[in-house]
Chain A
Amino acid sequence: MRPFGVRPGVFWALFVASVRMFVRNRAAVFFSLFLPLIIMLIFGVLNFEGSTTIKLGVVDEAHNEASRNIASAIAGVESFEISTGDRDETLAALRDGELELALVIPASWGEMREWPALTAYAATSAQQDAHIGALILNSIVLRFFAGTTPLPESMVTVEQVAARDLGYIDFLVPGIVGMTVMQLGLFSVAFGFVQLKRTGALRRLFATPTSPVYFLGAQVASRLIIASFQVAILFGVGIWFGLQMFGDYASLAVIVLLGSVIFLAVGFAIAGWAKNEDQAAPVANLISLPMMFLSGVFFPRDAMPEFLANVTQFMPLTYVNEALRAIVNDGASLAALGPQLLGMGVWAVITFVLAVRLFRWE
């Protein structure tokens, strides 16, 4: 008999059992895999981008009567959804896919009866809208100069700017991935483990010479593998819906695993503390619901009142979501995610300590 020391066979057997138990538990599979998938399909089909307006940024560098006149003429066009700003921020917004077209009125425009050409920067990602927008701009400028002779040589020149076309799906998928990681850690552990505690199945493991730490390890490992599968599925469906991945998958995996560790620790803290599912459920919901709505899963956190945004920026899921979006949408490397990684690291330590202190086998 050699019941001591490290035994990979035991770990593997417990790992396989953990995966089987998860996959065969319909409620667990539904809530942690199908629910996020359904939410994604619903939001993906709804398509919040159905607007017919053209997003135009106007940069007025002339600041004179003529420039104000032409700007207000442009503002009168209903097809335009106009924002104003300086040149740099407007062009940055254009490249980020927030604008489709940017019109720059040069500083010398209208001074000394000079009418240099206006420049319309068109986002390559929204060619059709940008093209129509440029035509509308041309006609407005044409009307503006109506009656003056001679007409200026060129009125609007169009320049193409390489831009990303970020849709709602690009925003949604990283958020759903973050939410899934949270739900899997919180609920599959909090409920599954509490149930094993309550029924005595966990106690039965104590009757064997194998340390229950093996079982704990197998549970964590199985959840990490399951989380990776779920993220792969969500990404697959997301890409089918037009998701664009600008970052690398290795960085994504790091964030998913780190996020899983945080929420698994929270799940074990709840499971360790609670005596039964009725105690675990409200606590798990109390933790997950605010984050689901305030950590930017479905909607950008910019829309929040400032004080709320200030508070919720420190929530663990907020860090996870920010990091996932930076990787997926901006192609950020892990090195560029210092603040988020720090935030997640701090939460991982806090939740791990909590889990260790609260955990009880019986």
Chain B
Amino acid sequence: MATSSAPPIIFARDLHKRYGALQAVDGVGFEVAEGEVFGILGPNGAGKTTTLEMIEGMRTIDSGSAIVDGIDVSRDPRAVKARIGIQLQASSFFDELNLVELLKLFGHLYGRQVDAAKLLADVELTDKARSQVRTLSGGQKQRFSIAAALVNEPRVLFLDEPTTGLDPQARRHLWGLVRQIRERGHTVVLTTHYMEEAEELCDRVAIMDRGRIIALDTPAKLVGSLLGRGFTKERVERLANLEDVFLDLTGHDLRNED
């Protein structure tokens, strides 16, 4: 997809970010095509979040450049923010406001009137419309923060570790939500440290370690190139794993998350 003729919606080149002695991001560059789900994979501290936040305009870029939907982030971070939706890692909202009030407020921050009921219905939180965020379960919070990131009908949706800390049912539910968002035409960039999540959701993944991208391709090709080098698992490949057992026993239905 990166090779399609349309210009990439995200073009990041040679990004650097340093915190004191730590070179958090050390020359990262990639392109994301419109409509793609792009994953950044990596262990904790690999620089995934910092990379994302530089592209979002949430952090200044030490050197290198990021262009989102034709706009240089360093030059006009507000214009970029107006076109994208951001779900922060562990993002929280004003405690005293309910979900509808929050979505309407965020709509105003983008200069828009929003259909809060529709946004909540899309993330299956209609019955929580008058609740406060702190009363939501982990999965509901993540779904709400995706709804809040969609108030401006963004060209690109950034999700920073959207399923960290969720149980298997809630994680799979969120995957379904991300696929729906993609089907509606939004480009999605997400970070994760769950390999199967990347494999399930992403058209292409960049694997980061120590501030650099060490591999970037479709999940199938990454696995293929590894096998092509003669890799075999030490253990006999089983056709199911423990998570499959867990889901078989407990079902795919979302748990009562109140």
Contacts and interface: CB of A to CB of B under 8 A. Distances in A.
Interface of A: 1-4, 7, 9-10, 13-14, 17, 20-22, 24-25, 196, 199-201, 203-211
Given A4-B78, A207-B58, A207-B86, A21 B96 contact: yes
Contacts of A211: 78
Given A13-B105, A21-B97, A200-B92, 17 more contacts: A1-B82, A3-B111, A9-B111, A13-B108, A17-B94, A17-B101, A20-B96, A24-B97, A25-B96, A200-B90, A201-B93, A201-B94, A203-B58, A204-B88, A207-B88, A207-B91, A209-B78
A209 B105 contact: no
Nearest to B134: A199
20 contacts: A1-B83, A2-B111, A3-B79, A10-B108, A21-B95, A21-B97, A199-B92, A201-B91, A201-B93, A203-B88, A204-B93, A204-B148, A205-B109, A207-B56, A207-B58, A207-B81, A207-B86, A207-B88, A209-B78, A209-B82
A1 B58 CA distance: 20
A205 B91 CA distance: 10
A7 B111 contact: yes
B110 interface: yes
B91 A200 contact: yes
Nearest to A21: B96
B106 interface: yes
A3 B82 contact: yes
B104 interface: yes
Contact of A208 (B101, B104, B109): B109
A10 B111 contact: yes
A190 to B, nearest CB: 17
A17 B97 contact: yes
Interface hub of A13, A196, A204, A210 (most chain B Cβ within 10 A): A204
B210 to A, nearest CB: 25
Contacts of A7: 111
A209 to B, nearest CB: 4
Contacts of B88: 200, 203-204, 207
Nearest to B145: A204
Interface of B: 56, 58, 78-79, 81-83, 86, 88, 90-97, 101, 104-106, 108-111, 148-149
Given A9-B111, A207-B58, A20 B86 contact: no
Contacts of A3: 78-79, 81-82, 110-111
Q: Main SS of the interface on chain A?
A: helix
A209 B85 CA distance: 11
A153 B92 CA distance: 88
A224 B13 CA distance: 47
B67 to A, nearest CB: 17
A206 B58 CA distance: 7
Contacts of B110: 1, 3, 208-210
Contacts of B90: 200
A225 to B, nearest CB: 17
Contacts of A200: 88, 90-92
A205 B109 CA distance: 8
Nearest to A196: B94
Given A199-B92, A201-B92, A9 B82 contact: no
A21 B94 contact: yes
B165 to A, nearest CB: 15
Contacts of B91: 200-201, 203-204, 207
Between A1, A7, A196, A209, the greatest number of chain B beta carbons within 10 A of the residue's beta carbon is seen for: A209
* 9 closest cross-chain pairs (CB), A and B: A13-B108, A207-B86, A24-B96, A209-B82, A208-B109, A199-B92, A21-B96, A210-B109, A209-B78
Given A199-B92, A204-B91, A209 B97 contact: no
Contacts of A196: 94
A3 B106 CA distance: 12
B20 to A, nearest CB: 16
B113 to A, nearest CB: 10
B81 A208 contact: yes
A17 B93 contact: no
Contacts of A13: 104-105, 108-109
A204 B148 CA distance: 10
Nearest to A28: B96
Which of B82, B101, B109 lies at the interface centre, i.e. has the most chain A CB atoms within 10 A of its CB?
Answer: B109
A334 B51 CA distance: 57
Given A203-B88, A204-B92, A20 B109 contact: no
B245 to A, nearest CB: 36
B138 to A, nearest CB: 15
Contacts of B96: 20-22, 24-25
Contacts of A20: 96-97, 101
A17 B94 CA distance: 9
Interface centre among B82, B86, B105, B108 (most CB of A within 10 A): B108
A14 B105 contact: yes
A22 B111 CA distance: 24
A341 to B, nearest CB: 36
Contact of A209 (B79, B93, B148): B79
Contacts of B95: 21, 25, 199, 201
A211 B105 CA distance: 14
A200 B93 CA distance: 8
Contacts of B104: 13
Contacts of A208: 81, 106, 109-110
B123 to A, nearest CB: 17
